[in-house]
Structure 1
Amino acid sequence: MTIDRRRFLTALGAGGAMTVAGARSAVAAPRRPLDAWPGRARGAAALPPDWQALRARLGERLVLPGDPDYPVARLGFNELNDGQLPAAVARCVSPGDVQACLEVARGHGVPIAARSGGHSYLGYSIPNAGLVIDVRLMAGVEVRPDGTALVGAGARLIEVYAALAAAGRLLPAGSCPTVGVGGLTLGGGIGVLTRKYGLTCDRLVGAEVVTADSSLREASAESEPDLYWALRGGGGGNFGVVTQFSFETAPAPGLTVFTMNFPAGSSEAVIGAWQPWVATAPFELWASCQVAGGTPPTCHIVGCWVGGEDSLRPLLARFVAAVGTEPTASRVLEKDYLDAMKFMAGCSTDTIAQCHPIFEGGILPRAAFVAVSRMLGPTPVDSAGVVELMAGRTGVSLLLDSLGGAVAELAPDATAFPHRSSLASAQVYAGTTQAGQEETTEVVDGIRDGLARLGAHGAYVNYIDASLPDWGRAYYGANLGRLQEVARCYDPDGVFAFPQSVVLA
């Protein structure tokens, strides 16, 4: 069976249920209700947008409630956000379409949000009673002779990987095949090649952006440099609608993927050995430590090595020796770039088209889940404390994805992504249902807050979290003030305001 990347990674060796009894929606208990979206009109202060005027421009690509395509067009990835009902979904095919959307909707007090892959954990890309500027149809990928890739903002990662692989190139990015390149890049872009090649945003050399005043701008180191800085890790939705990215790619070498499952009762030793191992490993190594809650918690490792199996084996042997316990099962597989990305995505089908959502003709289901995050500091956290947090939490997974390497070579203020010294990101993930939301909120948030007590502060904006304490500083650190200045410069009227806009932090 083909499953989405997060369920694939958490299922490797976990052997437990993927759904938490009494689980919650990622937007079930936000601190700010959806009908109090920033900038939304109250009372009769503003007339609604003239949707028919926009339909005259877009035709059937403007989808309104009651239209046959609306039930699918309105959906995001997380099923728990299905209660959100946008007033309109505009399927844009050009920057001109985006400009037209803003001309019609701006100033009417309705939420306006861009949507690439629709994976916003809180459903911020499908605002209730708002306008979704859907850039999915702008999904072309062109690789130029110098290796620069021009990528439409609506391209899904599997499409980007396939096009780059055909040209013998790679881009470090995320693992879930249906994630849009837009949201991933704008929040930073953590993935399985980051230690060798950096974050996705580190490879960004330019972007085509429609700002709140409907201007089409080119953001790069030479043109609109403050906007360019903010787009590299400042979070999607804050500064405008990106319609195209320009990335510096790298030649695609052979890769080796691996998994190791460890026996119950060894999680403390595995976590304790994993942290110094990845901290001192060659940049070519990326490894994720996956802790499945239970009694006791269990642990497995998923990783990727830039190179062949022979050069990886000594590193794996060193790690196993540090753990002091042999894995109960392991796999080491040499693959080319595209097949390695498909393996990490949990989508090993030969047909790229099948690595798409069901409603786009693929075979990948949507998911119902809640996820929150922390960032591990430069020093290891107490492994016994981590195990204690996960004890008895059946159905909850903790994904520790290694950073360091090339990520740490840039200063925290070189881009908007501040977590350059972090050892790893920590994502708490739970498959869920609509029932019993409050109980799971407490469980998942409790683990997040427990990680903070262990020294894992900060958070990853692409794992956006409604109840995260001091979220502005957690996402952006010392870069928050500059980000707020950029947002106020390019969107002084809050056209793109949403509950966790940088200007509200």
Structure 2
Amino acid sequence: MDFNALSGVVVTKESPNYEECCLSWNRAIEKHPLVIVYCQENQDVIQAIKWAKQYGVPFRIRSGTHHYEGYSTGDQLLVIDVSCMNRIELNETTVKVQGGVRNRELYEAVCGAGYPFPGGGCPTVGVAGYTLGGGWGYSSRLFGLGCDQLIEAEVITAEGQLIVANANQHEDLFWALRGSGGGNFGVVTSLTYRLPEKIEMATLINIDYKHVGFAKVVDVALRYQRFFKNLDRRLNLKMAMYNSETKGKGVKLTGLFYGSKEEAQDLLSLFQDATDFDFDYMTVLQANREIQDSHPEFEMYRSGGRFIHRDYSADELLTMLDLIDERAQGSLYTAITFYGLGGAIADIEKDETAFYYRDASFILGFQSVWEDPKYRAINNEWVLERFNVLATYTRGSFINFPIVQPGDYEKNYYGDNLEALKAVKRKYDPEGIFNFEQAIKP
């Protein structure tokens, strides 16, 4: 096996920085690839695909290392890493980014020029993976998902060809890229987005009920559900119902409002009994910086996501919260989180893009976080067992919050769009070389 036939920066098990290059943002993922290629240009990607086919070596595509289940890496395989391909081209109406650009870099460029953008919350998440899975963020109710602003993508196919997908060419692939998740059809090496109108200022919202117990959490959650009925789309909120080592049992609302502090306080006055009721009017860039800075440099966790299509009763919420009444051994934090949908997300028909669950009210996220590696197995088992219970309250799974799950994962992720996605897969990757544990099958 000739590693010299690979181009770009090639890291093997003999390289001094190999262990560092294996690390995922989620430190609970421990994988050891055969070789990692840090691609500098499209030709490096093409060469890597050809090399993998020549030697029959499976491969994965990696950018920000944030895949929840670690499917962007693996043992004894080739990792095609595009994180070094991070150029950004900004003009008055569009922004074009390479496949390795991350959220923070995009926000600095776009918001620094006065534009808002429906990006993600975590600074080191790759923009490509975020977008390909739909792309939820605090600006999504106003501007739509990340994929809704995408107008063109450059993709390297299974044949090692660079093609351009947009509304006029390779339209079927362009449709599929907007919500099907990363790694299914090719290596996306650039994405072009339309830019919203400039907005300079926004209000960052932090509302926290600490050490209040789950009865109070249910009361707040019921208010939150009612609050989202006909909600001003300039506002979006994430609600985390948590059991924390430091904050006890409580609930935190984090949000962004494209309007004044006074208007935001008035809109959210029903939550003013919170322990913390903080509103800060600032530039859109600074608001996104603060959201991103709240994320740690890395974590050790297990998490997954589902879609919520109805309101829950007080009894149902209490039953769900019973699942986190006791944290798993070693866990420092566990939460059931609702991510607000609706607004511009629901303006688009379910079959207009590959992102199917546009009629959902919320995404449900579930997680456990720990620090000592010895607790990984027990936390994994704890999360999976409870995630399967939460699945009975929900319908459909979120591809950007992936988790091993019983039943038909393809149907869970893609709903009625699955057959159309399979047709795209057969056309662009008939041999299924873009393959991983939960890939779309030809």
Alignment TM-score > 0.5, same fold: yes
Task: Report the CA distance between 1:449 and its aligned residue.
Answer: 2.4
1:452 paired residue among 368, 391, 400: 391
The percent identity for this pair of structures is 31
Aligned match of 2:23: 75
What is the DSSP-based 3-state SS (H/G/I as helix, E as strand, rest coil) of the residue aligned with 1:397?
Answer: strand
Q: Give the whole-Å Cα distance in 1 for the aligned partners of 2:319 and 2:386.
A: 11
Q: Distance in 2 between matches of 1:369 and 1:294?
A: 14
**Structure 1 residue 402 corresponds to structure 2 residue 340:** yes
Partner amino acid for 1:204? L
CA distance in 1: counterparts of 2:286 and 2:173, whole angstroms: 35
Residue number in structure 1 paired with 2:58: 111
Distance (whole Å) between structure 1 residues aligned to residue 241 and residue 55 of structure 2? 47
Q: Taking structure 1 as reference, are residues 63 and 439 closer, same or farther at Cα in structure 2, changes over 3 Å only?
A: closer
Aligned partner of 1:67: which letter?
A: S
Letter in 2 for 1:98: V
Q: Does residue 185 of structure 1 match 2:131?
A: yes
CA distance in 2, matches of 1:447, 1:453: 10
Q: How far is 1:446 from its partner?
A: 3.2
Match of 1:328 among 261, 272, 275: 275
Structure 1: 5+ residue stretches without partners: 1-47, 348-354, 356-363
Structure 2: unaligned runs, 5 residues or longer: none
The aligned counterpart of 1:429 is 367
Counterpart check, 1:219 vs 2:165: yes
Distance in 1 (alpha carbons) for counterparts of 2:423 and 2:18: 37
The reply to whether residue 391 of structure 1 matches residue 325 of structure 2 is: yes
Whole-angstrom CA distance in 2 between matches of 1:469 and 1:378: 22
- Tell me how far 1:327 sits from its aligned partner: 1.1
TM-score (norm 1): 0.81
CA-atom RMSD, angstroms?
Answer: 1.9
2:412 pairs with 1:474:
yes
Is the Cα–Cα contact under 8 Å of residues 111 and 127 in structure 1 kept in the other structure?
Answer: no
Q: Which amino acid aligns with 1:483?
A: L
Equivalent pair of 1:428/1:448 in contact (CA under 8 Å): yes
Structure 1 residue 410, shift from structure 2 partner: 0.7
Partner of 1:274: 224
* SS of equivalent residue, structure 1 residue 222: coil
| Cα displacement (A) at 1:470 | 2.4
User: In the TM superposition, what are the counterparts of 1:59-74 in structure 2 within 5 Å?
Assistant: 61-74=9-22
Q: How does 1:70-469 map to 2 (within 5 A)?
A: 70-82=18-30, 84-145=31-92, 147-250=93-196, 251-262=198-209, 263-264=212-213, 265-293=215-243, 297-317=249-269, 319-320=270-271, 326-346=273-293, 365-380=297-312, 382-393=316-327, 395-432=333-370, 433-454=372-393, 456-469=394-407
**Mean CA deviation greater in 330-339 or 438-447:** 438-447
Matched-pair contact (CA < 8 Å) for 2:152–2:166: yes
User: What is the DSSP-based 3-state SS (H/G/I as helix, E as strand, rest coil) of the residue aligned with 2:281?
Assistant: strand
Paired with 1:255 and 1:110, the residues of 2 have a C-alpha distance of 48
CA distance in 2, matches of 1:491, 1:107: 16
TM-score by length of 2: 0.92
Alpha carbons of structure 1 residues 378 and 221: separation in structure 2 relative to 1, 3 Å: farther
Higher RCO, 1 vs 2 (CA within 8 Å, ≥6 residues apart): 1
For residue 166 of structure 1, report the CA deviation from its aligned partner.
Answer: 2.4
- Higher share in strand: 2
Measured after TM superposition, the shift of residue 380 of structure 1 is 4.3
Q: State the SS of the aligned residue for 1:66.
A: coil
1:110-137 Cα distance to aligned partner (Å, 9 max, x none): 2211111011112111121111111111
Q: Which moved further from structure 2: 100-109 or 369-378?
A: 100-109
- In the alignment, the residues of structure 1 paired with residue 109 and residue 244 of structure 2 have an alpha-carbon distance, to the nearest angstrom, of 41
Equivalent residue letter for 2:223:
A
**Separation in structure 2 between the aligned mates of residue 103 and residue 249 of structure 1, nearest angstrom:** 36
Whole-Å Cα distance in 1 between the matches of residues 388 and 404 of structure 2?
A: 14
| In structure 2, distance between residues paired with 1:200 and 1:269 | 32
Whole-angstrom CA distance in 2 between matches of 1:439 and 1:137: 36
Q: Give secondary structure in 1 for the equivalent of 2:233.
A: coil
Query: What secondary structure is seen at the aligned counterpart in 2 of 1:207?
Result: strand
State which drifts further: 224-233 or 125-134: 125-134
Cα distance between partner residues in 2 of 1:457 and 1:141: 37
Count of residues in Structure 1 that have an aligned counterpart in Structure 2: 429
| Structure 1 residue 389, shift from structure 2 partner | 3.0
Deviation at 1:438, TM superposition (A): 4.1
